[in-house]
Amino acid sequence: MTGAALLAGPDPRDGAEGFAAHTARLGALPSGRHGLIDTLERAGLRGRGGASFPTATKWRSVASRRGDSVVLVNGAEGEPLSQKDRVLMESRPHLILDGAVLAARATGARQIVHYIGAAHAGALAAMRRAINERPDAERRLMRLVEAPQRYVSGEETAAVHFVNDGTALPTALPPRPFERGVSGRPTLVQNVETLAYVALIARHGDAWFRAVGGGGSSGTALVTVSGAVPAASVHEVDGSAVIADAVNLAGGLTSDSDAVLLGGYFGSWVPATRAWALPLDVGALSKRGLSLGSGVIGVLASSDCGVEMSARIAMYLADESSRQCGPCTFGLRAIANAMRRVATMQAGVDDLAHVQRWAGLLPGRGACRHPDGAAIMVRSALQVFADDFSLHVREHRCIVPAAVARAA
Amino acid sequence: MVAQRITVNRIACDGHGLCAGVLPEMIKLDDWGYPIIEARGVPRELMEHARRAVDSCPMLALHLEDRR
């Protein structure tokens, strides 16, 4: 159930593993020039930034372009409920750097840009130190760019845009980053956890990766458990673990809970009765129409109102819209406003029906997936908290007594 | 011949809505005037209207693309 692959070795809380210790523990970096992409494909490695896109496919699309490419290491981690990328950067920076060097070799890149959230001071310091410990030939390829603290900063076209001209806003597709990215070159944008796994798969092989996943489809995964637990914390679990296991690793429930937000602010609310037994495996979740997203498990305490929480998240996502595309600028804002009216017992008769219809109009109608992700959260909230939503609208009261007191 | 589909650059689109007037068979407007475009390929009999819809966009945000 608990996995120890990415976080194997010294206790992650003791800080960054240095280059010498890293190399002594895992051996030198393999050349990885030949066949690494095939190995990643056999392993079935998928991206850990949220979209779960097959890594080998992404690398091939960059490697097949002409001319030098660029590797953009994505450690922006703008998801408010996620801490796993930070924990990894702070504790295992050399796994990430190994993966970045391997990615550069496999895709023909001569530049590696480390794009790290400006607010993540510990991660920035650890990555800076780690870069300086690398051999000259590698260090020369690398630079570090601080990502602005916005939700969209980590979106891959926004990341490329910021590195190019200091604007962390998504751009219209095409061209996609693999076609024209940093400095107009084919660019591989890859999450730090994904790259760390590349460093391990290059050493241990694809069969090892499948085995370490505990029968799941995706190796181990880093998850952040927050909400009704003693403190938000990051854990490594394999595909045999269920949500209840992750919650136990985080110290267990501090109160009853009726629902879990799985995947992050772009994720789905799941009723607790169904959530506890859900396997933390990308493949198994996707069969159930769910996504592990960036590994977020947000446990809603039963003293918190799901309607209010969902309205706050919708408001946050509307605030964080880059306001470039109409459906997101106006549609998501209207949804958030209507949800807030419902949550504060000021809903009009049509508000709920409007939210339902507008949420259906968000997917596929932005340059990036911001509206799509918001729609997933909103629609799952309407489903999971259906009774509570209708109570708010019809009777201006809430299932949770404490929340009524707050709203009054 | 491969059917073409209508795509829109969402960042460039300002919601003028002229496209929906020219090609109501395939383009509707949402509550804020932004186009909701059918994903299907443009049928042959609507091709001329689709081209006019593309040409009508003051932001040059609408395109006809080969279907993928």
- Does A183 share its domain with A240? no
pLDDT band at A3 (very low <50, low <70, confident <90, very high): confident
**Both structure tokens of B63:** 């395109």
Residues pairing with A112 in the sheet: A71, A142
State how far the alpha carbon of A321 is from the alpha carbons of A45, A150, A265, B56, in Å: 30, 9, 13, 28
| Residues A177 and A157 sit within 8 Å (Cβ to Cβ) | yes
Handedness of CA A127, A128, A133, A139 (dihedral sign): positive
Two structure tokens written together for A207: 């069969």
Q: What is the pLDDT of residue A403?
A: 57
Q: Which of A158, A193, A212 is the last residue of a domain?
A: A212
Residues A160 and A237 in one domain: no
Helical H runs in A27-83?
Answer: 36-43, 55-63
- The answer to whether A326 contacts B36, with C-beta atoms less than 8 Å apart, is no
Q: Number of folded domains in chain B?
A: 1
Asked whether residue A3 is assigned to any structural domain, the reply reads no
Mean pLDDT of chain A: 95
* Helix residue ranges, H only, A36-120: 36-43, 55-63, 84-91, 93-107
- pLDDT value for A213: 86
The percentage of chain A sitting over the pLDDT mark of 70, rounded to a whole number, equals 98
Count structural domains, chain A. 3
The residue among A328, A365, A368, A372 with the most chain B CBs within 10 A of its CB, best to mutate, is A365
pLDDT of residue A404: 52
Q: Please, are residues A172 and B11 in contact by the beta-carbon 8 Å criterion?
A: yes
Contact A326 B9 (CB under 8 A): no
Q: Do A69 and A121 fall into the same domain?
A: yes
Can you give the pLDDT at residue A406? Answer: 56
Instruction: Look at residue A4 and tell me if it is in a domain.
Output: no
ipTM field: 0.93
Instruction: Please give the residue that has the higher pLDDT: either A276 or A407.
Output: A276
Give the separation between CA A307 and CA A301, rounded to whole angstroms: 13
Residue B68, pLDDT > 70, answer: no
Task: Give domain status of residue A7, yes or no.
Answer: no
Per-residue pLDDT of B30-65, as tens digits, reads 999 999 999 999 999 999 999 999 999 999 999 999
Q: What's the pLDDT score for residue B20? A: 97
Per-residue model confidence as pLDDT tens digits over A356-380: 999 999 999 999 999 999 999 999 9
Residue A217 pLDDT: 74
Whole domain around residue A331: which residue ranges? 306-407
**Strand ranges (E), B1-68:** 4-8, 27-29, 35-37, 62-66
Q: Given an 8 Å threshold on Cβ–Cβ distance, is B10 in contact with A325?
A: yes
Q: Are residues A341 and A281 in the same domain?
A: no
- What pLDDT does A400 receive? 85
Whether residues A366 and B34 touch (CB distance < 8 A) is answered with no
Residues A194 and A264 grouped into a single domain: no
**Residue of A210, A265, A299 lying closest to A50 (CA atoms):** A265
A343 within domain boundaries: yes
CATH value at residue A314? 1.20.1440.230
A32 lies in the same domain as A178: yes
pLDDT at A83 over 60: yes
A152 Cβ neighbours under 8 A, 6+ residues apart: A78, A158, A168, A169, A170, A320, A321, A322, A368, A370
Domain encompassing residue B33: 4-66
Q: How far is CA A43 from CA A9, A96, A279, in A?
A: 22, 18, 19
Q: Could A172 and B12 be called an inter-chain contact, meaning their C-beta atoms sit closer than 8 Å?
A: yes
Q: Report whether A261 contacts A268 (CB < 8 A).
A: yes
Closest chain B residue by Cα to residue A329 = B32
- The residue among A190, A212, A234 that closes a domain is A212
State the count of interchain CB pairs (< 8 A) between A and B.
Answer: 43
pLDDT at A178: 95
